[in-house]
Amino acid sequence: MFEYLLFSLLNTLVLGMLFFMLSSGLTLIFSMMGVLNFAHASFYMLGAYFGYQISAVFGFGPALLLAPLAVGVLGALVERYGLRSVHKYGHVAELLFTVGLAFIIEEAVNLIWGRNAVTYPVPNFLDFSLFTLFTTSFSAYRAFMLLISVGIFAGVYLVLTRTRIGLIIQASLTHPQGVSALGHNVPAVFMLVFGGGSALAGLAGVIGGIFLITEPAMAATLGPIVFVVIVVGGMGSLTGALVASLLLAAIQTFAVGIDVSLGDIFARIGFQMSPGGLLKDLWRIKISHTGPILPYLFMVLMLMFRPKGLMGKRES
Amino acid sequence: MLLFMRRYGIWLAAVIVCVVLPYIFTSRLSLTLFCQMGIALIFALSYNMLLGQGGMLSFGHAVFYGIGGFLAMHALNKISGGTLPLPIELLPLVGGLGGLAAGIVFGWLSTERSGTTFALISLGIGELIAASALMLPSFFGGEEGISANRMVQTTLTGFRFGKQIEVYFLIAFWAIVSAALMYLHTKTPLGRVANAVRDNPERAAFIGYNTRAVRTLQFSLSAFFAGIAGGLFAINYEIITAETVGALASGSVLMMTYVGGVGHFFGPILGAILVTFMQVSLAGITHAWLLYFGLLFVGMVLWAPTGMAGIIMMHEPVWKAGLMKRLLPSYLLIALPSLVMFVGVMILVEINYHLSLSINPEAALQLFGIRFKAQSPVAWSTAILLAAIGFVFFRAAKRKVSRSWDEVTQTMKGGAV
Amino acid sequence: MLRRWLLSLTSVALLMLMALPVMAADTIKIAYIDPLSGAFAGVGDAGLKHFQYNAELINAKGGVLGGTKLEIVPFDNKTSAQDSLIQLKNVIDQGIRIITQGNGSNVAGALIEAVNKHNERNPGDEIIYLNYAAVTPAFTNEQCSFWHFRFDAHVDMKIAAITDYIKEQKKVKKVYLINMDYVFGHSVSDASKAMLKEKRPDIQIVGDTFTPMGKVKDFSPYVAQIKASGADTIITGNWGADMSLLVKAAKDAGLKAQFHTFYGGGLGAPKAIGAAGIGILNHVTEWHINLNHEEKNKQDEEFFLGYQAKYSGGGEVPYYYGRIRTQMQMLAAAIDKAGSADAKAIALALEGMEHETPYGTVTMRAEDHQLIQPLYISVYAKAGTDKVKYDAENSGVGFSTVKRIEAAATAMPTTCKMARPSK
């Protein structure tokens, strides 16, 4: 049991920090610009493919640096020449622009790298098991992921709280008009945040592409979960995003271990659900099967009852 | 009589077109296509009740379409089993009522706020239903879905629905009735208040309207029509699978509506016809259709956010003022470079698809009747050149178009004074 | 308003006329209805190339009916049941009466229904449907149809093969079942439980888990469960990312158990899983790329290398569906035997047909139209060695046979009560 708990906890951390890296950029973008960026996960995918391509030629080290940079530049360009010109048509148009963009990026990836998964292996120097406790081992790569993501959290946190640009960004989070009125170049800040957010997603892709699978569907499978993180965490709150990421990872990890069905729960409190009817399967589903759906349930409930999220500063 | 024609002529014309159409295009495919268009049209119009009229951007509208479809399918099985004495022509109503019921529940839950919060709730509900669909096989039929036979004994008309054309007329009937009802709805007080709530919820609330109730009502009605479309789906395909409640279906109706234009009642109709047509026929012509589709969509968002209907209606005053001939030269001027640019981009895309995804990249590629090797530098440079030249002249022509637009508007303003 | 309506309608009509394909004569066309765009296009694309290659080989030998060539016509169904039905209409319009499809039991189920209805409503103008990969047992049991022929072994047959192998493995004590939470996954789980109980009652089933399809990112929690259960063998029907992620997570956690899978070596999997599967990942198929080398079958090796050179994109997507060769050759033989390309005649000729493949005789069982063929269980192995010559998808890993299951052993009883048309 201790072994199970410990490793589940470690895996929660790894997955949670990956979610965080993905969503930290999005939460900044969303709360500053009000853009629900559906292409964010596509930047994550681009990061993975760039990482794959660069590490195939130059090795993993340069990929870790260059791929997020390239994705960041791409993100900034999208903001400058795409989003900014749609801005005048309102948020719906902006959002739809990103939906279309996600579409195009996926097709472009299909076109360039093919429709099947690519071989993006763990780099040699990380391909060993770090430690083995009882019978379960923990791979060095997972530890490396943890290290990078914690570093990113610290870095972003420091930039936001200790630098001038960070202070402007923070101010824009809560009072976008006020910052503009003070004479700061808000469009430039937007471009920077969008580029930076994309770069973070790209970095998540470089390391997540190895951890998971690098394939054209990777954006679509991870896309919605990122929205759950920013909603649950709350608008504009980096700490909220962190907490929400870990929470979601914990739900997914630990729900697997609960072998109780909804029918059992009702039975325990005294209701016997009829075994017939069109919804009979509902009572049969075990909590352990629902892990990955729970986040959406969580998101819907959160939006209904506490739309500003766990640690949000304001409503959207 | 003239007044009658002016007011109802368009509906009469629609009826005539619907009746005549299958006798002009007689192939099975075109008939299937018309049926699909009819269903998509109701679905898109119902979506526009949300987005266009109510200002609610939903990512989960297919939930009601699907639930309606599944309920109708279960009912159809009961009809053919003899346990439900309902004429099959009224089956879409079952779907509609199912959609309505689900719409009232989910509508009440999600419409307290509009805007992003609403959009995210609809996304969450859509994901939830889509993910649970495969886990609830009794209702959703698992991976294989639920099927039924539409050739049943209980019918109102003499139709047995063995032939596709009979189904076509049923769909056409429901499409016209639903479209008419939805059009009338825009003229009712509820339709108007929905507009008010979309444009300024605070003021609507101040006047004394319960914004949430208005939204819920609008949402439920929209779900009702989506359910009707789902019921027709059940009859048309005689099978329904979990994909109908999925994100793809929700995304596709959003695209139809937006490409058609949310600002005008007939926009979604245009969008549904065009997008359905593209989905079916473009996929048969080129494997790159998804890319063209994405480019078209992004292009619309960037340059024509009012959709096809918006572009058409923009010209209405010009047409009435008899100034179209002033615009035409500049339109012709821009058409040429656009075409050149499009052809260039198309060649590039096709070359790339041919290289990366075709059966045999070494084989020659045929475009516009010309056969060439995709690897040939001539093809590449021609394509890039065409695209570049087209782009340069397109920008120049675009300035010309906006100049002549300015002139025309000036003239019209002057005329009005 | 009226003018606008008419205008848009005419333009749509014009576009439609342009889209109508031109018919070519003098070939027997086979409609290939599978995803050619969207998320599953990679698989559909590969399948199309398999058919194309086999048609070419048959045509090079003179085609059928003394000189008529076979032609594969692709139709994109986007893995959707609805789109498949639309494409079926398209197929019928174009005068094609032989269709083949494989990806997705939802699509296959819809097609069987639609073909049945079409044939019932249009006597004398029937369609025949050759299924090369949809494995729901019902299609050749309670849902069986005279017009449907399946060339892949269905779920119960594959589980029978896996459990036959496990029966001999005395060191297997605890089995864990992990499957995707939909009909297919449940049938894998049910069949495994039933057959293990029958063949090895001493084996303990220590887990029976279902995972939401395509939603799990990190399988570590599931692997932790498997570990905690002490399982030494895992049976799974997972495919695609759900297969690859499971094996990757197992490797990370150092799980030392044997995986018995349906699609562990499926298209894209060797690339995604790579060395993580060596020695532990088994899959059950009717053919694999290293079989020709193991059996020293030159003719099959040539067949494989021919595809490798022409269609595999430099080995990126090698030949996978051995049964497509069987299917195309049997179809050609049936057309020759029937003396025409009429669907009903072909169906009658296919019923009960025996056919020689490089690896034994296969039979199209007349009572349920299920192909009975030998199956192989093979395991991931490092490629480029004496034993394992070819690698899959340039991943450096290939497959090594661990057991051959004879055709007769895979045959399962059927509940099919087939309605046959009057002759």
**pLDDT at residue C15, as a whole number:** 47
**pLDDT at residue C1, as a whole number:** 43
Which of the residues A19, A109, A115 would you substitute to probe the C interface, choosing the one with the greatest number of C C-beta atoms within 10 Å?
Answer: A115
Q: Write down the mean pLDDT value for chain A.
A: 85
Domain ranges of chain B: 9-289, 315-416
Contacts for A110 with CB less than 8 Å, ≥ 6 apart:
A216, B356, B357, C41
Residue C399's Cβ-side half-sphere holds a number of Cα atoms within 13 Å equal to 29
DSSP code per residue over A185-233: -HHHHHHHHHHHHHHHHHHHHHHHHHHS--STTHHHHHHHHHHHHHHHH
Domain ranges of chain A: 2-216
Taking only the tens place, the pLDDT of each residue in A4-32 is: 888 888 889 999 999 999 998 898 888 78
Q: Do B128 and A277 touch (CB under 8 A)?
A: no
Query: In chain A, what residues touch C49 (CB-CB under 8 Å)?
Result: none
Decide: A316 and A245 in contact? Cβ < 8 Å. no
Q: Which fold has domain B9-289?
A: ABC transporter involved in vitamin B12 uptake, BtuC (1.10.3470)
Least confident segment among C5-19, C143-157, C290-304, C312-326: C5-19
Query: In chain C, what residues touch B14 (CB-CB under 8 Å)?
Result: 5
Q: Do B32 and C86 touch (CB under 8 A)?
A: yes
Query: In chain B, what residues touch C1 (CB-CB under 8 Å)?
Result: 9-10, 266
**pLDDT at residue C20, as a whole number:** 42
Q: Do B241 and C212 touch (CB under 8 A)?
A: no
**pLDDT at residue C233, as a whole number:** 95
Parallel, antiparallel, or unpaired: how do β-strands C69-76 and C27-34 relate?
A: parallel
Q: How far apart are CA B128 and CA B113, in angstroms?
A: 20
**pLDDT at residue C106, as a whole number:** 82
Q: How far apart are CA B380 and CA B53, in angstroms?
A: 47
Q: Do C241 and A221 touch (CB under 8 A)?
A: yes
> Any idea which residue has 């995972």 for tokens?
C211
Q: Do B139 and A103 touch (CB under 8 A)?
A: no
pLDDT category at C239 given cuts 50, 70, 90 is confident
**pLDDT at residue C262, as a whole number:** 93
pLDDT surpasses 90 at C164: yes
Structure tokens at A67: 């791929």
Structure tokens at B268: 């979604």
* Domains of chain C, start order: 22-153+298-372 (3.40.50.2300), 156-285+375-409 (3.40.50.2300)
CB distance from C245 to chain A under 8 Å? yes
Q: Is C410 exposed, middle or buried (0-12, 13-18, 19+ CB in 10 A)?
A: buried
More confident residue, A171 or C11: A171
Max mean pLDDT among A85-99, A172-186, C82-96, C278-292 falls in: C278-292
By C-alpha distance, the chain B residue nearest A83 is B302
CB pairs < 8 Å spanning A and C: 125
pLDDT surpasses 60 at C121: yes
**pLDDT at residue C77, as a whole number:** 87
Q: Do A215 and C268 touch (CB under 8 A)?
A: yes
Q: Is A313 exposed, middle or buried (0-12, 13-18, 19+ CB in 10 A)?
A: middle
> Any idea which residue has 């493919």 for tokens?
A49
CB distance from A126 to chain C under 8 Å? no
Burial B163-201 (b: 16+ CB within 10 A, else e): ebbbbbbbbbbbbbebbeebeebbeeeebebbbbbbeeb
Q: Which of A303, A307, A90, A84 is nearest to B55 (CA)?
A: A90
Which of the residues B36, B65, B183, B239 would you substitute to probe the C interface, choosing the one with the greatest number of C C-beta atoms within 10 Å?
Answer: B239
End-to-end CA distance of chain C: 56
Strand partners, C235: C177, C260
Query: In chain A, what residues touch C248 (CB-CB under 8 Å)?
Result: 211-213
**pLDDT at residue C2, as a whole number:** 45
pLDDT surpasses 90 at A288: no
Q: How far apart are CA A49 and CA A216, in angstroms?
A: 9
More confident residue, B359 or C308: C308
Q: How far apart are CA B337 and CA B398, in angstroms?
A: 10
CA distances from B146 to B75, B234, B243, C113 (A): 11, 9, 12, 11
Structure tokens at B282: 């473009």
pLDDT surpasses 90 at C231: yes
pLDDT surpasses 90 at C82: no
What percent of chain A is predicted at pLDDT more than 90? 31
DSSP code per residue over B24-64: HS-SHHHHHHHHHHHHHHHHHHHHHIIIIIT----S-THHH
Taking only the tens place, the pLDDT of each residue in A48-62 is: 999 999 999 999 999
The phi-psi region of residue B141 (left if phi > 0; otherwise alpha if psi is between -120 and 50; otherwise beta) is: left
Q: Do B131 and A292 touch (CB under 8 A)?
A: yes
Element housing B142 (H / E) = none
Strand partners, C29: C71
**pLDDT at residue C22, as a whole number:** 39
By C-alpha distance, the chain A residue nearest B71 is A278
Q: Do A36 and B356 touch (CB under 8 A)?
A: no
What percent of chain A is predicted at pLDDT more than 70? 94
Mean pLDDT of the C140-167 span: 95
Q: Which residues of chain B have pLDDT under 70?
A: 1-2, 357-360, 415-417
Taking only the tens place, the pLDDT of each residue in C29-73 is: 999 999 887 777 888 889 999 999 999 999 999 999 989 999 999
User: Taking CA C211 as the corner, what is the angle to CA C207 and CA C215, rounded to the nearest 5 degrees?
Assistant: 155
Query: In chain B, what residues touch A278 (CB-CB under 8 Å)?
Result: 74, 138-139
Query: In chain A, what residues touch B130 (CB-CB under 8 Å)?
Result: none
Which amino acid is residue C331, in one-letter code? L
Provide ipTM, 2 decimals: 0.85
Query: In chain C, what residues touch B360 (CB-CB under 8 Å)?
Result: 310-311
More confident residue, A47 or C275: A47
Q: Is A6 exposed, middle or buried (0-12, 13-18, 19+ CB in 10 A)?
A: middle
Q: How far apart are CA B301 and CA B303, in angstroms?
A: 6
Contacts for A145 with CB less than 8 Å, ≥ 6 apart:
A14, A17, A18, A207, A208, A211
By C-alpha distance, the chain C residue nearest B360 is C311
By C-alpha distance, the chain B residue nearest A289 is B135
Residue A68's Cβ-side half-sphere holds a number of Cα atoms within 13 Å equal to 23
Strand partners, C399: C380
CB distance from C181 to chain A under 8 Å? yes
Element housing B85 (H / E) = none
Taking only the tens place, the pLDDT of each residue in C145-158 is: 999 999 999 999 99
Encode C262-329 in three state secondary structure.
Answer: CCCCCCCHHHHHHHHHCCCEEEEECCCCCHHHHCCCHHHHHHHHHHHHHCCCCCCCCCCCHHHHHHHH
pLDDT surpasses 50 at C16: no
> Any idea which residue has 């049923």 for tokens?
B170
Sign of CA dihedral C405, C406, C409, C414: positive
Element housing B150 (H / E) = none
Q: How far apart are CA A257 and CA A4, in angstroms?
A: 10
Looking at chain C, which subunits does it touch, using at least 3 CB pairs closer than 8 Å as the criterion?
A, B
Strand partners, C371: C364
Which amino acid is residue C248, in one-letter code? K
pLDDT surpasses 70 at C24: no
Contacts for B24 with CB less than 8 Å, ≥ 6 apart:
C13
CB distance from C317 to chain B under 8 Å? no
**pLDDT at residue B58, as a whole number:** 93
Distance of CA C11 to the CA centre of its chain: 41
Q: Do B241 and C81 touch (CB under 8 A)?
A: yes
**pLDDT at residue C299, as a whole number:** 93
**pLDDT at residue C19, as a whole number:** 45
What percent of chain C is predicted at pLDDT more than 70? 94
Q: How far apart are CA B43 and CA B47, in angstroms?
A: 6
Sign of CA dihedral B356, A209, A202, A314: positive
Q: Do C254 and A137 touch (CB under 8 A)?
A: yes
Mean pLDDT of the C376-385 span: 94
Write out residues 253-292 of A within 8 Å (CB-CB) of B: 277-282, 285, 289, 292
Question: Among partner residues A115, A225, A253, which is closest to C45 by beta-carbon distance?
Answer: A115
